[in-house]
Amino acid sequence: MTEPDCANERENASRDAERENIPQDAEEDKPFDGQLDSSSGGDSPRPQQITPEQRQAWGVENFKNNAAFLILVGCLGGIVFFALCEFCNSGNEDALKTTADTLKTFGLTVMGFLFGKSTSGKQ
């Protein structure tokens, strides 16, 4: 046997091995043509129409979240800034400990708010 004949026989053997693993009742995959099959009984997911009221409610909610985030970042930045100023000017290490405790309390309060808001039961 020549080299190309051996390669062809190996390919044929690997194809035969693959065919043995395919179940007899398997159907050939067909590419999706973008059309939904109406024979499925209408259980196919359909895109929902967003009403103007929903869009406005989401916009208000996003605005409130963004405003709250900016206020939160501003407050935290102010706390850290003043703590560093006091530490640099007077070398008071208690300022950093107090700041750390304040940031922990603030962070836990925010986490409680977020978890409470996301599990309030509204959908």
* CB contact burial 74-98 (16+ within 10 A = b; e otherwise): eebeeeeeebeebeeeeeeeebeee
| pLDDT range class, residue 59, cuts 50, 70, 90 | very high
Collapsing DSSP states into helix, strand and coil, what is residue 104?
helix
Taking 80 as the threshold, does the pLDDT of residue 35 lie above it? Answer: no
Q: Is 49 inside any structural domain?
A: no
Q: Give the span between the Cα atoms of 122 and 119, in whole angstroms.
A: 8
Q: Is 29 inside any structural domain?
A: no
Count Cβ atoms below 10 Å from residue 99 Cβ, excluding itself. 19
Taking 70 as the threshold, does the pLDDT of residue 110 lie above it? Answer: yes
Q: Give the span between the Cα atoms of 98 and 80, in whole angstroms.
A: 11
- The residue that leads in pLDDT, 39 or 17, is 17
pLDDT digits (tens, 9 = 90+) for 75-84: 888 888 888 8
pLDDT of residue 85: 87
Count Cβ atoms below 10 Å from residue 7 Cβ, excluding itself. 10
Q: Is 72 inside any structural domain?
A: yes
Put simply, whether the predicted model's pTM sits higher than 0.75 gets the answer no
Average pLDDT in the chain:
76
Q: Is 87 inside any structural domain?
A: yes
Tokens in use for 83? 């703590």
Q: Is 23 inside any structural domain?
A: no
pLDDT of residue 56: 92
Closest CA to 119 of 55, 49, 111, 54: 111
Structural domain that includes position 71: 63-118
Total structural domains within the chain: 1
Residue 109 CA, distance from chain mean position? 23
Taking 70 as the threshold, does the pLDDT of residue 41 lie above it? Answer: no
| pLDDT range class, residue 68, cuts 50, 70, 90 | confident
Q: Is 37 inside any structural domain?
A: no
